[in-house]
Amino acid sequence: MNIEQILQVKTIEAINTLYGGAVDKVVFEKTNPDFKGDFTLVVFNFLKLSKKKPEVTAEGIGNYLKTNVAEVAEFNVVKGFLNIVIADSYWLSYLNSISNKSIINAELPANAPIIMVEYSSPNTNKPLHLGHVRNNLLGYSVAEILKAAGNKVIKTNIVNDRGIHICKSMLAWQKWGNEETPESSNIKGDHLVGKYYVLFDKNYKLQIADCKMKGMSDEDAEKNAPMMLEIKEMLLKWEMGDKEVRELWTMMNGWVYKGFDATYKMMGVDFDKVYYESNTYILGKDIIDDGLKKGVLKRRADNSVYIDLTADGLDEKTLLRADGTSLYMTQDLGTAAQRYKESHFNKLIFTVGNEQDYHFKVLFLILNKLGYDWAKGLFHLSYGMVELPEGKMKSREGTVVDADDLMAGMINTAAVTTKELGKVENLTEEEANYLYKTIGLGALKYFILKVDPKKKMLFNPAESIDFNGNTAPFIMFNYVRVQALLRKAKDSTGFNPTAEFNNTAVLLPKEKELIIKLYSFTPTLSQAATEFSPALIANYVYDLAKEYSQYYHDTPILKEENLEVMCFRLHLSNTIGAAIKSAMKLLGIEVPERM
């Protein structure tokens, strides 16, 4: 049992013994920093049993715990708050138990829950942009956190590779491409296709303006502009399997997939399974038929199928068009069912921006009404949009922040900053380039992931590279500081981080605080997994690095004359370094060994 569990068991025993109660649950909180103590019990809930004043009740429980729990060193009472001080020997023993070991249990239990995490979901008509960056980093990190928390995780991606938006790039390339390829133009495949998506929109707007000049309404102009009619015809040909259209589609999508793979590799994210909309868009019709038989779904006079959700505060949702063709909702119903059939997941997490909140609310509600028990395990990880100081991005107008350009820019900024700060001295060119990449990409990832997923965020590249404050470079610097310290210790004293240290050291207040911070890693990980929030891990590791930085400045380590104390401080530093590395890994961030 951990110390909270010991306190809970013994406190229940104390209350029932002292006051003749039948309490079966007590909750300890972390002691307020303004008071002395490690854990605090609020006793007001037990006054009916004790029939005593809050202070007297707390004193009674405190005395019982000090007498019967070896780990309790002392206690104090502030009104109805019992503050418990845990003995240094317990914290030293805990540190010894995790020293030179992974702070994360990598072994999955045989009955580990299966959790599928979907993220990325790009369109094959443009490269990934800043919005996709947040999506990918969030989905990947949540998957890693869930895995570390003891779940079997399946990382998935569904690629939107068909439809009107894909045909736009195809038609523009047909008209103005002159057989251009990524090789002939030396342009990355997804960028090349994105170029034609923007070109389509530019010319389409000119045609709309021309139609309006001829007296058409805005709506009619958009529907009847020649290029819109052409892409509708192209989509129909695609659905009919037209050889020429399909070959063009396969070729251009192939360019995009190759480009995506390069971006994903640089970003450091991966997938266990990739789905393609071209294979899933026809799914869901069997579910519709089943829903009609059950009477959950209804058919209109024009033959379209819908579900009436007005009693749930929503509206009527069409699931099949009058001509029998599918909608996105139809496809999503079928895809969810297919995924459950394949994996029998306990939970399926959709990492999608908050502009789709309504869509997922409807999707989950329909599946529940259709009687699918597994639908209770569906969850929409809704996140806020990313904006820049310049404002919002628009793909069709070519004003997005491209993910590749963003990452390259971050690496370049990291290079400039680290050179100015003199952090690449004595490094080879290869080592320096690795450092620039590690710092640049780490800064990007951390800056995005430290924000609560539900919040909209403003990304500031320059601010993210700062070596001071709540940033990845600051955390990395403190990890590197630990590694440099350990190298010096090995050279000067022969320090062995794998050996146990003596448990008789007297802890400084900051040392105890650091060990308690290490102790809180596991509950923080558990909370982050429950809330699907990498921000909890990010801010945990920043706090740990910040506290260690202060300790390093204020406390002699290698200069400590007492060999036993020096050895303890090196072990503490080593364990903190390992915890920093583990926490950053959960965020998809590497840490350098030198700078």
For residues 458 and 447, what is the distance between their CA atoms, to the nearest angstrom?
Answer: 10
**pLDDT confidence tier of residue 386, bands split at 50, 70 and 90:** confident
20 contacts: CB under 8 Å, gap ≥ 6: 49
Q: Does the pLDDT value for residue 21 go beyond 60? A: yes
**pLDDT confidence tier of residue 395, bands split at 50, 70 and 90:** very low
Q: Does the pLDDT value for residue 41 go beyond 80? A: yes
Ranges of each domain in the chain? 3-86, 163-270
64 contacts: CB under 8 Å, gap ≥ 6: 10, 13, 14, 17, 18
DSSP label at 384?
P
80 contacts: CB under 8 Å, gap ≥ 6: 42, 43, 44, 54, 55, 57, 58
Res 458: pLDDT: 85
Query: 590: closest CA among 434, 396, 403, 416?
Result: 434
Q: Mean pLDDT lowest for which of 70-84, 111-125, 502-516? A: 502-516
Q: Mean pLDDT lowest for which of 89-103, 401-415, 553-567? A: 89-103
Query: 521: closest CA among 455, 437, 580?
Result: 580
Find the length of the chain. Answer: 595
For residues 529 and 522, what is the distance between their CA atoms, to the nearest angstrom?
Answer: 11
Residue 565 has which token pair?
A: 């104390």
DSSP label at 423?
T
Residue 299 has which token pair?
A: 């058919």
Residue 221 has which token pair?
A: 């102009």
Q: What is the mean pLDDT of residues 25-53?
A: 93
Per-position b or e across 255-287, b if 16+ CB within 10 A of its CB: bbbebbeebbeebebebeeebbbbebbebbbeb
**319 class by beta-carbon count within 10 Å (0-12 exposed, 13-18 middle, 19+ buried):** buried
pLDDT, tens digit, for every residue of 129-187?
Answer: 888 999 999 999 999 999 999 999 999 999 999 989 999 999 999 999 999 999 999 99
Res 388: pLDDT: 72
Res 423: pLDDT: 81
Q: Does the pLDDT value for residue 75 go beyond 50? A: yes
Query: 26: closest CA among 68, 53, 65, 52?
Result: 65
DSSP label at 312?
G
For residue 405, the SS3 value is helix
For residues 539 and 389, the model is more confident at: 539
Residue 338 has which token pair?
A: 């297919």
| Dmax (CA) of the chain | 93
For residues 476 and 590, what is the distance between their CA atoms, to the nearest angstrom?
Answer: 9
For residues 397 and 303, the model is more confident at: 303
Q: Are 473 and 513 in contact (CB under 8 A)?
A: no
Q: Does the pLDDT value for residue 397 go beyond 60? A: no
For residues 535 and 524, what is the distance between their CA atoms, to the nearest angstrom?
Answer: 10
Res 399: pLDDT: 53
Q: Does the pLDDT value for residue 393 go beyond 80? A: no
For residues 327 and 281, what is the distance between their CA atoms, to the nearest angstrom?
Answer: 8
Q: What is the mean pLDDT of residues 263-284?
A: 93
Q: How far is CA 292 from the centre of its chain?
A: 38
Phi-psi region of 454 (alpha: psi -120 to 50; beta: other; left: phi over 0): alpha
Query: 116: closest CA among 279, 340, 445?
Result: 340
The model's pTM is 0.92
Q: Nearest 5°: phi and psi at 295?
A: 85, 5
DSSP label at 297?
S
Res 394: pLDDT: 46
Q: Are 110 and 552 in contact (CB under 8 A)?
A: no
Q: Nearest 5°: phi and psi at 140?
A: -65, -45
C-alpha gyration radius of the chain: 30
For residue 439, the SS3 value is helix
Q: What is the mean pLDDT of residues 538-547?
A: 98
From residue 184, how far is each of 99, 180, 230, 415, 510 by CA, in Å? 56, 6, 27, 31, 62
Q: How would DSSP label each residue in 231-259?
A: HHHHHHHHHTT-HHHHHHHHHHHHHHHHH
**pLDDT confidence tier of residue 504, bands split at 50, 70 and 90:** low
Q: Nearest 5°: phi and psi at 579?
A: -65, -40
Phi-psi region of 178 (alpha: psi -120 to 50; beta: other; left: phi over 0): left
Q: What is the mean pLDDT of residues 456-463?
A: 84
DSSP label at 146?
H
Q: Are 541 and 442 in contact (CB under 8 A)?
A: no
**Alpha carbon distance, N-terminus to C-terminus of the chain:** 40
Residue 437 has which token pair?
A: 């990449």
Residue 215 has which token pair?
A: 């007296």
Most confident of 92-106, 151-165, 311-325: 151-165
Q: Are 280 and 273 in contact (CB under 8 A)?
A: no
Q: What is the mean pLDDT of residues 371-392?
A: 86
Q: Nearest 5°: phi and psi at 347?
A: -150, 140
DSSP label at 35?
S
For residues 140 and 565, the model is more confident at: 140
For residue 319, the SS3 value is strand
Q: Are 453 and 533 in contact (CB under 8 A)?
A: yes
**Average pLDDT of the chain?**
92
Helix (H) / strand (E) containing 408: helix 403-420
Q: Are 541 and 475 in contact (CB under 8 A)?
A: yes
For residues 214 and 572, what is the distance between their CA atoms, to the nearest angstrom?
Answer: 78
From residue 566, how far is each of 167, 331, 501, 556 by CA, in Å? 67, 63, 10, 8
Q: Does the pLDDT value for residue 363 go beyond 80? A: yes
**pLDDT confidence tier of residue 396, bands split at 50, 70 and 90:** very low
From residue 460, how far is each of 24, 130, 298, 390, 466 by CA, in Å? 50, 12, 50, 10, 11
Tokens 């952090």 label which residue? 423
For residues 567 and 561, what is the distance between their CA atoms, to the nearest angstrom?
Answer: 10
The topology under which CATH files domain 3-86 is Gyrase A; domain 2 (3.30.1360)
Q: What is the mean pLDDT of residues 452-471?
A: 88
